[in-house]
Amino acid sequence: MPHPDWNEAIDRVRARLADTAARVGDRFPHWADTSTGAWTTTADGDWTGGYYVGMHWLAQEVSFDPAVEPRARRLAERLGSRIAAQTVFKSFPIYYGAVLGALLADRPQLRETALACARSLVEMYDPVLRLIPLGRQAEEGSHIGAAETSIDSMQAAPFLFWAASEAKDEAMRDVAFHHADRIGALHLRADNSFIQSTSLDPKTGAVVQHYTHKGYSDDSTWGRAQAWGMLFSTMSYLRDPNQSRWLGWAQRGADWWIANVPASRIAFWDFDDPAIPLTESDTAATAIATAALLRLARVVPGGKSEAYRGFAAATAAALVQHHLTPTGADDPRVPGMLTEACFNKRPDARPQDAGTNCEFIVGDYYFFESLLALAGIVDPTRL
């Protein structure tokens, strides 16, 4: 498949970002109806709002826009309200909203916001479980007990590694290590697929059961679980390159993805849905996996690096050609939308999360990041 003009695709995404800003005002986009471009929004950012802010910081790497930085800073500061939330998932909005602002825009106030969140996460660490549990205010809070964890929550580890380095805090670094090491070991199966969730015994830390919050079944492989495992194992390794086991987890997950994703390179929402191919695709999971492969390509040697980058580029090309809405009068849709994401199709999903054939701000972010990496504009290992 010939690779498209990455810069032209980047311009489409930037146009959609500007369109989104005009639509949502001071709220945070969550997911959108791709027939109209209208967003379902949240007031506080929930776990997804940081990705919208992160897209602003990335956009400034392409071309400085005086309107973008103040809006990103204002929204990132508002995400500070998430710090008190009793959920490990508060690491998502603060990392992508505040840490990226500190890394890419050198905003000292956002650095302090991020460090405050990191200290709050450390307070949630459970030494018996050897990780930070999901917490009672997690997205799945009505379904969980006090000793639940998931592959999604591994994202807190690279965040805490960054914060520990900034604060020169060895105790925080120790929490980051144990969180990453425990979650990866719990959720990577023997066949190199990732299961999403685990129940632990709160008294001993022993495994009670492996299961899924969002996938088809407890034995299936939910697309985003596989992508999260690939990405966060790689990001954790990048923050602590002595942990070669984590790089091994990332490669095992990536090789499984490459071997099992459809020929189109676009993942279904769950790899084991018996309705395949008559079921939803998930471009968000696909974009996350692409971002993971582009990082892996920077840290593995020789032919393996070329294989990962080549697969990532071909996947991004498929997303551009088949799922990124074009410009032009012959297509009435808003340009620059990444279509056919599956946010959450479980019947017990929160009402605000029930988007199954949509644009998802999380997928938008990783797609944008991947385009910028392929165009040579950003180094994904910095992010």
Verify that 168 and 271 share a domain, yes or no: no
* Statement to judge: residues 66 and 136 lie in one domain: no
| C-beta atoms surrounding 298 within 10 Å | 15
The pLDDT value recorded for residue 332 is 80
- In a shared domain, residues 1 and 79: no
Domain presence at residue 255: no
**CB burial string 29-60: b at 16+ within 10 A, e below:** bbbbebeebebbbbeebbbbbbbbbbbbbbbe
Which CATH number goes with the domain that contains 275?
1.50.10.10
Q: Mark which of 248, 280, 295 sits at the end of a domain.
A: 248
Same domain, 65 and 31: no
Share of the chain above pLDDT 70, in %: 98
Kindly state the helix (H) or strand (E) to which residue 63 belongs, with its residue range.
none
Q: Give yes or no: residues 156 and 135 share one domain.
A: yes
User: Can you give the residue range of the structural domain that contains 36?
Assistant: 1-43+261-383
Domain membership of residue 355 (yes or no) is: yes
Summarised one tens digit per residue, pLDDT across range 154-192 is 999 999 999 999 999 999 999 999 999 999 999 999 999
Number of domains comprising the chain: 3
Name the burial class of residue 376, with classes exposed (0-12), middle (13-18) and buried (19+) by CB atoms within 10 angstroms of its CB: exposed
Q: What is the 3-state secondary structure (H, E, C) of 318-358?
A: HHHHHHECCCCCCCCCCCCCECCECCCCCCCCCHHHCCCCE
Whether residues 219 and 267 share a domain: the answer is no
- pLDDT tens, residue by residue, 114-144: 999 999 999 999 999 999 999 988 876 556 6
CB 226 within 8 A of CB 249: no
Q: Are residues 1 and 12 in the same domain?
A: yes
Tell me, yes or no, whether 157 and 184 share the same domain.
yes
Assess whether 283 and 380 both reside in one domain: yes
Q: How far apart are CA 112 and CA 141, in angstroms?
A: 28
Kindly state the DSSP code that residue 130 receives in the 8-state scheme.
T
Q: Are residues 50 and 100 in the same domain?
A: yes
Q: 200 and 167, same structural domain?
A: yes
Eight-class DSSP state of 222: B
pLDDT tens, residue by residue, 324-335: 999 766 778 899
